[in-house]
Structure 1
Amino acid sequence: MRLDLLASPEARQRLAPLMAGMNQEPVLNAPLALIVSADLALDKSMRELGTSEQMLARLAGSLEMRKSLARDSALIQLGYLVLALRAEGLDVGVMTGADLAGVDAEFHADRPWQAIAVVCVGHGDADAFHPRAGRHEFDAVSQVL
């Protein structure tokens, strides 16, 4: 997972037009917006993490494998990031309603990062929160074998 931390109003103003209509205001009003991305050149940084030479060679030879691994890893790490931020008492809004290709053009033109989500972080307005939506029953989404 790679992060752009948009702490300044100017940075969030660059992002807002790339968000879906209802997501623009939260981006502008949040004290911090994060662009969460997958690093398509993750094979370049994985050696220091102890990744085997065989795996590094496989990744170097396959853009599709790098994209898949980078995206899957970033999504898992995003889940942990959300849990950690909420554990610190922050409100977190994960949004995928964005022109992610436009986000990449605006913020990642010189990097091999691919945006996967935008996250607003701060202390939200209690009046803006919606009641919790319904959840699927266990049997509707699971099977025990």
Structure 2
Amino acid sequence: MLSKEALDTLFTTARTHNAWLDKPVTDAQLQEIYDLMKWGSTSANCSPARIVFVRSDAEKQKFLACVSQGNFEKTKTAPVTAIIGMDMEFFEKLPQLFPHADARSWFAGNQAAIDATAFRNSSLQGAYFMLAARAVGLDCGPMSGFDADKLNAAFFADSSVKVNFICNLGYGDAQQLFPRSPRLSFDEACKIV
């Protein structure tokens, strides 16, 4: 079992941050996040998540034109924003990722299965991504609140990737956190049958 400190880092004391310290995130940290999150389970090992790390001023300006006003300032000041995308042609990689079965044939030509699988599994991978970021010492600020069409045109044009959600990364400013919101109790959210 993980230590209480590790569980706190990943879950109990981890927070969604909206304000950031002026401290850079390194390429090595971004690589480490991916190298951890890629091991998380997906159905048939389909691994549809594709990530664009937005850091440069020029790319950040392009990105900021796609976010809602409520997300503008917190994204502008974040050292890095990750666009968690989903490859809608993920099944083309299945001969490599799931070689013991003809898993590609389960999806080719079946748009409903492609859409559901890409969204579900890239969402799972996005959660693994946030846990990996916390594990390497960074804070996260996951968000919706963007124009998907604009973002897809700006960052995924001429590709099979579409945005799922976005996540700011960096060292959160704990002084700017508001009180933690409540969560549902086990009895409110769960049933054992």
Q: Does TM, scored on the shorter chain, surpass 0.5?
A: yes
The match for 1:50 is 98
Q: Do residues 80 (structure 1) and 97 (structure 2) align? A: no
Secondary structure of the residue that 2:59 maps to in structure 1? helix
Q: Is the 8 A contact 1:9 1:28 kept in 2?
A: no
Cα offset, 1:9, TM superposition: 1.6
Q: Secondary structure at the match of 1:46?
A: helix
After superposing on structure 2, the runs of 4+ consecutive aligned residues of structure 1 that deviate more than 3 Å are: none
Deviations 1:48-86 (A, max 9, x none): 112421x21121121221111111111111111101101
Q: Which residue of 1 aligns with 2:157?
A: 109
The amino acid of 1:126's aligned partner reads A
Q: How does 1:1-145 map to 2 (within 5 A)?
A: 1-51=49-99, 52-53=101-102, 55-145=103-193
| Identity in percent | 27
Deviations, residues 98-140 of structure 1 (Å, cap 9, x unaligned)? 1112211111111111101111001122232222101112111
RMSD: 1.2
Once the two structures are TM-superposed, the CA of residue 87 in structure 1 deviates from its matched residue by 1.2
Inter-partner Cα distance in structure 2 for 1:75 and 1:83: 13
Q: Secondary structure at the match of 1:18?
A: coil
* Paired letter, 2:95: R
Letter in 1 for 2:96: E
Give the aligned residue type for 2:174: A
More strand by share: 1
